[in-house]
Amino acid sequence: MILIVSIFVIGYLAIAFEHPLGLNKAASALLAGVLCWVVYVVIGAAPLDLVEQQLYHYFGEISAILFFLLGAMTIVELIDSHGGFELITERIQTKSKFRLLLIVTFFTFFLSSFLDNLTTAIVMTSLTAKVLDKKEDRLWFTSMIVIASNAGGAFSPLGDVTTTMLWIGGQITAQSIVLKLFLPSVAVCLIPFLIIGRRFRNQKLSNSVIVNREVNRSEANLILILGILLLIFVPIFKVLTHLPPFMGILLAVSLLWVITSLLHVNKEVEQKNKFSVANALQRVDTPSILFFLGILLGVSALQSVGALQQLGIFLQRSLGNDYLIGIALGIISSVVDNVPLVAAAQGMYDLSLYPSDHNFWEFLALSTGTGGSAIIIGSAAGVAAMGIEQIDFIWYLKKIAWIALAGFASGIVVFMIQVSMFSS
């Protein structure tokens, strides 16, 4: 067990120091994940038949998550290739920096709930780069985008990969997570907005939004509306059919595939290829998919050898409180990627202990989904924004960390008030 844990920790350190090492985090995650299972077999900790049975069991669960992500990313890429996001950005017209921050925060919060927080952060950060001349202004706006995208992703089963994992794993249901985390997520976003917004009161913009790409407006509108409706339909599909979410997202992709094929049937081959699902699949962030695969393989190996169960017992004895455990995991998620944290929690705590829609799972989704905003590298949205605007790690730590933590704390307070009100 110690050797497997050591391999996972070393792999995670390689992921954390991805840029200094010059090694893609997907490579480190895959290598660590596979090696954990290799060592599990070689040391003979369990019979080969049992190891194979465990591997196929966990790989089935992992595949459900990965195919869901692949489908969702494909739909987002289709919307983008048709210019759907340009239609959103060109409608944002204002001369007030404060009002622009309000609009950007509003759009980011709600878009991230069904597009995903990473994609939303990229789209909105690119938007602010078109309208803000000063680097300092862009840094503050981008920081608010990171906080808002993580907050919006937390209350939706589609908005953050960790919430999706909990949804697919049966720990939460779509309707419950939306109802119970919407107000706490609003609080996580609202407090930082009020703090950052004070900087921009009475300040004016020097130019308006510029949209560089020409798009077919009717096609862009159609694909944008259809894409969003199909993404929203996925949770409804699960409720109606009781089939797993990846079946709903695959149905959505196939329907959009047929519609786009018919839409472009009379166009030149080059145009067809540009707007095709095949092209969208090529643009999907495949390394991120492989990163999740490696991480989840490693976590499943730790679960198979009993390491996660022992960690769960340790946390329960040390902290002895669901909220303290959730807060601890949320703070850790600002340093450690929240995917392995949530995957570990799923292995540490059985559904017999915390059944579906238990407050613990919903609080875990809130804390790990929003805790990563405290440090720029603590979330995928933060890493993406850091790359686009070249945000300095220390600048974010000094200027934004306390603001993000204030939002994080306010979300926790709102959640606890909700629980006390509805449980009494």
Question: Residue 190, CB half-sphere, CA atoms under 13 Å: how many?
Answer: 9
Would you say residue 144 lies in a domain? yes
Environment class of 198 (CB within 10 Å of its CB; exposed 0-12, middle 13-18, buried 19+): exposed
In-domain check, residue 270: yes
Q: Crossing angle of helices 380-389/117-131, nearest 10°?
A: 20
Number of domains comprising the chain: 1
CA separation for the pair 424, 421 (Å, rounded) = 6
pLDDT the model gives residue 132: 81
> Quick check: is 26 in a domain?
no
The reported pLDDT for the residue numbered 394 is: 82
- As a whole number of angstroms, the distance between CA 110 and CA 104 comes to 10
Please tell me the distance from the alpha carbon of residue 274 to that of residue 264, in angstroms, as a whole number: 10
Three-state SS for 108? helix
Residue 133, burial from CB neighbour count under 10 angstroms (0-12, 13-18, 19+): exposed
Residue 39 lies in a domain: no
The pLDDT tens digits of the residues spanning 42-71 come to 887 778 888 889 899 888 888 887 888 788
pLDDT of residue 335: 65
d(CA 414, CA 134) in angstroms, rounded, equals 35
Domain assignment of residue 16, yes or no: no
In a domain, 107, yes or no: yes
DSSP state string for 5-37: HHHHHHHHHHHHTHHHHT--HHHHHHHHHHHHH
Tokens for 32, please give them: 């660590």
Confidence at residue 202, expressed as pLDDT on a 0 to 100 scale: 82
Looking at residue 141, its pLDDT comes to 93
- Which class for 79: exposed (0-12), middle (13-18), buried (19 or more C-beta within 10 A)? buried
R_g of the chain computed on alpha carbons: 22
The answer to whether position 233 is within a domain reads: yes
Cα–Cα nearest to 347, from 364, 335, 332: 364
The rounded distance, in Å, linking the Cα atoms of 190 and 195 is 9
The pLDDT assigned to 158 comes to 76
101 is in which domain, residue-wise?
Answer: 54-423
Cα separation of 358 and 169, whole Å?
13
pLDDT at 211: 52
pLDDT at 79: 85
Task: Name the average pLDDT for the chain.
Answer: 83
Looking at residue 337, what is its pLDDT?
Answer: 62
Rounded distance, CA 97 to CA 94, Å?
A: 8
Identify the pLDDT of residue 207. Answer: 57
Block means of pLDDT (10 residues each) for the chain, 424 residues, are 86 77 84 91 83 88 82 84 76 80 91 77 76 86 93 85 83 88 94 93 69 71 87 80 86 92 84 84 83 83 78 74 84 71 77 86 90 79 73 84 94 92 68
Report if residue 72 sits inside a domain: yes
Neighbour-count burial for 12-27, b at 16+ CB within 10 Å, e otherwise: bebbbebeeeeeebbb
Give pLDDT, residue 366: 92
**pLDDT (0 to 100) of residue 213:** 58
